[in-house]
Amino acid sequence: MPVELECFVDCPSCGTVQPADRPDCIDGHGSDCPEWICSVCLTAVLVDPQLVALATRRSSGRAVA
């Protein structure tokens, strides 16, 4: 079954880390697609998968201003 992957991006438009949604990939990247959309302002953000993991780990730990 599909997995809802919780992801956060450092949104340049919001100027802070925001929860991100995965858009439908039309470029054939599959699960490696670096494209995310800020769920707050809907700005498209390209994210390195490693940065995604880092941001997710950071946000799930202690709070970061």
Residues that bind Zn ion (CB under 5 A): 11, 13-14, 18, 25, 27, 29, 33, 35, 38, 40-41, 43
Residue of 6, 5, 18 whose CA lies nearest to 45: 18
CB of 20 closer than 8 Å to CB of 37: yes
Q: Least distance (Å) from Zn ion to the CB of residue 4? A: 18
For 34, residues 6+ apart whose C-beta sits below 8 A from its C-beta are 46, 47, 48, 49
Q: Least distance (Å) from Zn ion to the CB of residue 27? A: 4
Q: Least distance (Å) from Zn ion to the CB of residue 63? A: 19
* Cβ distance to Zn ion smaller for residue 49 or 54: 49
